[in-house]
Amino acid sequence: MGLLTVSCPSCGFSRQLPSEKVPDGPRRVTCPQCKETFVYDKSSPAAVKEEDSETGSAQASTTSGPPFTKPSPPEAPSASLDDFQGPVMEGSSATSSEDPPGPPTVPEMTDIGDLFRQSWDIYQKRFATLVLLYLLAMLAIAIPTALAVGIAFFMTLIAGGTAFFVTVSLGILAGIACFLWCYSGFLCAVLDDSLRLEDALTRGKRMILPLAWIFLLTGFIIIGGYLLLFIPGVIFTVWFFLAQFIMSGENVRGMDALLKSREYVRGYWLDVALRLFLIWVVSGVVSAIPFFGFILAVLFFPYLMIFHCLIYRDLRAIKGDTSCPCRTRNKLLWPGVALVGWIIIPIILMLLFGSLFCGKYHQGTRVQVETTRGESGHFCVATFPPMVIEIVNGV
């Protein structure tokens, strides 16, 4: 009866077992000492060599005394093959000690409850700075517009209606520029927790035009998507809502920022959509509170943006410094899809109202002709609603 030595290649734990007690074929076993897993095959050349050496040494001990042997590993607790985990590999064709590669694990986003709690913690710390910046953004567009309208009334008395139009237009443009400046500073403060009010406004001054372009592109694409039977608009909203954070935080501008936002969301659309839906529902409930809804909505908006920013940070941590295809074809694809929505719906509305108008027109201009016979002869009465004309046809 030959003996086999089953040794762990990691820690050196070994045990000699009778050959007939070791199953045939490759078997995956786990070392009880270091918990490493390896494959042992009694029919491999190494195992056969070990068995032959054990038999040869036993014969040599009876004839020529004890042979020279290598130091054996430290004595381990007695163990049998049953101390290893049972075989997990089927058949006898396995040659590798590693498990076959499985599907890669997909990192998960931060839990929704943790996301709400983290947003609240940041909101409490940054309350004063963020609320002041957002109030400045609202006042920045309201005050210049109101002043322009007031000045335009006096200008109308001097130069007529053209002066009113020019003055109001200039006031609105100035208000939009001031709003973009303050809102850019607000975005910078949301992304960078260390920024104060003055630093955020200084940094935001360089982002007025890029932010305006981001807003125009995002609005055009999302609204065009909603015009295409609503569902594309929902998809575009989730894809591209990160563009403003990417523009401010990574200095990626224009359509490149929108495409990078879509790349971040890729593979996590449902998770992102669920989080956005929940926070928007909360925002709608807060805004609908009687009497105080507007004030609460203003106070809640920084919390909303912090929540959005944490989603952006979460996806960026998962995806890393991701790259996206920014060729001309990719940049024109989604604006082109949105343009279809902007064109098709007006055409459908024009055809619909045109057909209704034509139907009413034909119905209103219908001529009714009646022939009657009176005492003086035949009369032909033609009715053109809403008037009636009598034509004498003869005596």
pLDDT in tens, 32-44: 777 677 777 777 6
pLDDT for 131: 96
Closest CA to 326 of 266, 263, 243, 265: 263
How is 22-53 classified by DSSP, letter by letter? SPSSEEEEE-TTT--EEEEETTSHHHHHHHHH
Residue 140's region, left for phi above 0, alpha for psi from -120 to 50, else beta, is: alpha
Res. 297: pLDDT tops 60: yes
Q: Name residues whose C-beta falls within 8 Å of residue 29's C-beta, 6 or more positions apart in sequence.
A: 6, 37, 38, 39, 40, 81, 84, 85, 87
Q: Which helix (H) or strand (E) holds 384?
A: strand 378-384
pLDDT for 105: 57
Tell me the two tokens of residue 97.
């000690």
Mean pLDDT confidence for 298-319: 95
Closest CA to 218 of 270, 269, 254: 254
Cβ atoms < 10 Å from Cβ of 367: 9
Mean pLDDT confidence for 262-284: 96
pLDDT for 390: 47
pLDDT for 70: 40
Where do the H-state alpha helices sit in the chain?
A: 45-63, 112-159, 161-191, 197-204, 208-227, 231-240, 243-250, 254-265, 269-287, 293-319, 328-364
Q: For residues 299 and 161, give the distance between their C-alpha atoms in angstroms, rounded to a whole number.
A: 39
Site of tokens 């929505």: 341
First to last CA, the chain: 142
Closest CA to 118 of 254, 308, 277: 308
Res. 318: pLDDT tops 70: yes
pLDDT for 265: 95
**Residue 188: alpha-carbon gap to chain centroid:** 20
Asked if residues 39 and 46 have their Cβ atoms less than 8 Å apart, the reply is: no
Q: What are phi and psi of 16, to 5 degrees?
A: -90, 130
Which DSSP category does 237 fall into?
H
Asked if residues 197 and 131 have their Cβ atoms less than 8 Å apart, the reply is: no
Q: For residues 258 and 51, give the distance between their C-alpha atoms in angstroms, rounded to a whole number.
A: 68
Average pLDDT score over the chain: 78
Whole-structure pTM value: 0.65
Angle value at C-alpha 245, between 176 and 318, nearest 5 degrees: 170
Cβ atoms < 10 Å from Cβ of 221: 25
Q: For residues 273 and 238, give the distance between their C-alpha atoms in angstroms, rounded to a whole number.
A: 6
Tell me the two tokens of residue 102.
């499985």
Cβ atoms < 10 Å from Cβ of 155: 19
Handedness of CA 198, 201, 203, 205 (dihedral sign): negative
pLDDT for 248: 93
With cut-offs at 50, 70 and 90, classify the pLDDT of residue 72: very low
Mean pLDDT confidence for 331-335: 92
- Give 371 or 192, the one with higher predicted confidence: 192
Asked if residues 184 and 136 have their Cβ atoms less than 8 Å apart, the reply is: no
Tell me the two tokens of residue 246.
């990417």
pLDDT for 256: 94
Closest CA to 258 of 195, 338, 317, 345: 338
pLDDT for 97: 41
Mean pLDDT confidence for 189-200: 93
The domain spans of the chain are: 3-83, 112-346, 365-395
Handedness of CA 86, 90, 93, 94 (dihedral sign): negative
Find out whether the peptide bond into 386 is cis, omega within 30 degrees of 0.
yes
**Residue 295: alpha-carbon gap to chain centroid:** 29
Mean pLDDT confidence for 365-375: 52
Res. 378: pLDDT tops 60: no
